[in-house]
A and B are shown apart, each in its own frame.
Chain A
Amino acid sequence: MNMIRLSLRLLLRDWRAGELHILTLALIIAVSSVATVSFFSDRVQKALVLESNQLLGGDLLVTSDAPLSPGYAEHARKIGLRTTRLIKFPSMISVDDKNLLTSIKAISRGYPLRGELKLVDPPTEGGAVQHTRIAEGIPKPGTAWVDEKVMMALNVTLGDRIEVGATELTVMSVVKSEPDHTVGFVSMNPRLLMNEKDLPATRLIQPGSRINYQLLVAGEDGQVAEFRRWISERLSPGERAEGIQDARPEIRSALDRAGKFLSLAALASVVVAAAAMALAIRRFIQRHLDGCAVMRCLGATESTLLCLYSLYFVMLGSIASLLGCVFAVLAQEFLSYWLQQLLGIVLPLPSVLPFVQGILTGMLLLLGFALPPLLNLRQVPALRVIRRDLDLANLHSLAGYGFGLVMLSILFVWKAGSFNLGVMIMLGFLLAVILFGLFGLLLIRLFLLTRPQGSGPWSYGLANIRRRAIPSLVQATALGLGFMALLTLTLTRGDLMEDWHARLPENAPNRFLVNVQPDQQEKLMKFFDEHAIPRPKIFPMVRGRLLKINDRPVNLDDFPDPRAKQLINREFNLSWMDTLQPDNEIVAGRWWQGKTASSDHELSMEAGFAETLGLKMNDHLTFYAGGKEFSATITSLRTVDWDTFHVNFFAVVRPGALDGYPASYITSFYLPPDKLPIMQELIHLFPNFLVIDVASVIERVQSMIEQVTRAIEFVFLFTLLAGFAVMYAAIASTQDERIYEAAIFRTLGARKQQLIRAWAVEFAVLGALAGFFSAAGASILGYLIGKYALHISYSPSPWIGVTGVLVSVIGVTVIGLLGTRATLSLPPLLVLRK
């Protein structure tokens, strides 16, 4: 038998008869909202990565202390990536008899691959406005570009010649900022950029010189990823390949959170869509029960029915999902265009993945919620054609929705991009469904017990809910879940924004002062007072090399991880403090109380650092500092929020433990832009200070977060709108029974106004129930997501409950009444005939 054709015919007939409009509409809206959010998030995320890659100067950076194999760049170019080489090293440069230790960067054609190299007019005595412009190309051979520190320290002007090793270069431009300048704090020296071609003439590249060889690559995501895979299998010891996310923790966490939030938005749209789907399919099944019973009488076997309707839903799902995706493509294109017009943000083109995801989402949702009732549908007792009273309760069994929930959880894990987040949200929703169901059942039972007196709209409305206890419960639960998803998103969004602003406030520290001597502390603080800059917190620091772990001498060969090798090779900055910094959190052991040091010194280690080095609680470490040994035992592990730009240390000991070791101090403070000139005074007063300027990093990060924020607001608003559209379809899909009853009531003489009031009560109660469910659920879910997924603090708000319930009551009532009102003008007989 040609099942496909018959099934297609049934589908077309149902469509023509108007049976499928609401289900299809719900599916199309659901798929298009999910896909639009995915498309848009995809593009926003790509834009953010691209933007953040500017901080690296490319998409991937390969770096080494030895010359890199030319094969790397060749391979990169072969697979279509752009490349450029950099060689960085510190060296003295001089003009006349003045010398200056400078970070030299020899660059080659193409630099930078991402971001911009900015030049500025030379500094003037009068402090005239400086014009910044974007560099075209790189310094020509024989010339150099330097930064203002070089200009000032060596007192040079444009056109002057500077000795760099064995050669001389002419200063042609002043560098304002380099995109990759912000990676790592090593780049604190004055800077000089020169053409790579001049490098041999300097004769500075000698065996034993501290040279950093870099290869930057940029190109399409896929190519970069492919190159990353390729090269990571070939890296020699001492070579590293890193993207921006490896290099800058604050960017990584910003991107991470933004990504998770966008996933959440997509998840929320999935939940709303699923709620709508569950309701719409319920209606479909109810309307097709009799038809199936009749077909059974007419000789259709169970498998025939199952096959017919499976094909039917696959076809319906494919068509609706495809349409939804097409809408999504248009919608996200419109959104991006709007965003571009509004904020001047140009988004990269989306990948095809969201399209595929959209279609699969539609199919999973439809089949997830349709198949279980379908499996029951084929078992519809044919006897139903004769005996209308046959029990059909099992058709709406929880098991049926259970299958839908399993499908949903697959979608969740997939959409969340993280198994944990997906499973957590899934369990949350599952628990919510159960709790909503139980609580709702209890409430409805209570309604059943208390028979309201009188005959006002209240008693009619409540009677309606009583009479349709189970459908009302299903509807309230589904709506509650939908609202809960939207509300959770609202809560999380607020927390995320707050958190970001709290992390990087306007006055986040933008200057670090290193190498402050003990006797300079007081003078420095006075300097701050004089210039009305709040006294920053200052931290002691003793530099030491790690000698032994648990009395075993440290051997580099014990650390296969190149990063661990690097850390071991460096001098540690040991500090002491009596209280834990606010952006630190103890994850193992405990922080010390009081100031007295015991005989065995206590040490608190940063958790990630300890993990890299394989250090554990109670490990005994011996350092070599200031000409003598110093030992301490790890008594606590801490996590540190590196993205706050506060001074932080990997290793901290109890105050007093390092008394007698040579210490210098480090501090960070916020320098307002209008106080820029005091820096010269500061350098003059304290020539030994090392000043690290992170203003440009912070600016970059802030502007990125600003963009993330806008993008997220945008996605959020869209998800809300789409959510309400889906909800509308969902409520509309449950109107049949009401319409039918209304016809009976009207036949019995009820006036329109009476019915509208009764319905208003019914919808308001449903809305209140859903609103209550959603507010309670969202508060808990918001807390969990904030704590475990986004790692931000959750601020509970009593308003969310009030707002949730109010919005839900008003929304459901208005949408419900809009959906039913029209039928009031139909003659009752017409409705009853249906």
Chain B
Amino acid sequence: MEVIDIIKPENQVFNKTCLMTDTTLSYCPGCGHGVAHNLAMEVIDELGIVEDTIGVAPVGCSVLAYDFMNVDITQAAHGRAPALATAISRTWPDKYVFTYQGDGDLAAIGTAETIHACNRGENIVIIFVNNGIYGMTGGQMAPTTLPGMSTSTSPYGRDIETMGMPLKITELIANLPGTYYVTRQAVHTHKHVRKAKKAIKTAFENTRLKKGLSFIEIVSNCNSGWKMNPNDSNVWMEENMFPYFPLGDIKVKGKLKQ
């Protein structure tokens, strides 16, 4: 059988969601951002809510998220996405409002906006991709950079005596009464992808039910910033990132998991 004979609608096993554009991703090969984008768009597509969805893009590697996500998006200043999302959700209470942010954006420059949006329990979804480094600006130390990890601004490794430990902002906001659903996921294997997608779906369903704030951290790799090949970076992530940032639900239906 020729290949051309196989390519038929009845043989199709996967369909790219129309909510991902055909624009070539600007992410490095092997980066988790593309998968995380795709999951968010698949969920919005499957829930049939695109007409009522408004996204807020960050500053960082995903600053151009709007080039790839085929939904209405406002691009925010560095760290301010939760403030924008707050206002959009308050003035359009029946819309699905989500932010998509990295670790520098959400856990450093935007810490105040993150904590207060969470504390107010805004009816929004926050998707937080944590790869422990500033990718866009060329691999500088992030609030989530692991102890001893070398970056361009911690060339001798993160010194916790002077820079403190990596910020577990997800645990921090989970302890605020305003958050309803807080979970930490990954997207480097098909098993993790399925779990992460389920978490994102739960988050958007929470918005529909006006349950308040859903927060999904995705621990991801940055093979370019970490200066590894994609496979090695995923192994390194499992061995080093996951012990400090353990995967799983942290808060479900407003209750902390013990």
Q: Do A and B truly interact?
A: no
Measured CB to CB, the residues of A under 8 A from B are none
Chain B interface residues (CB < 8 Å from chain A): none
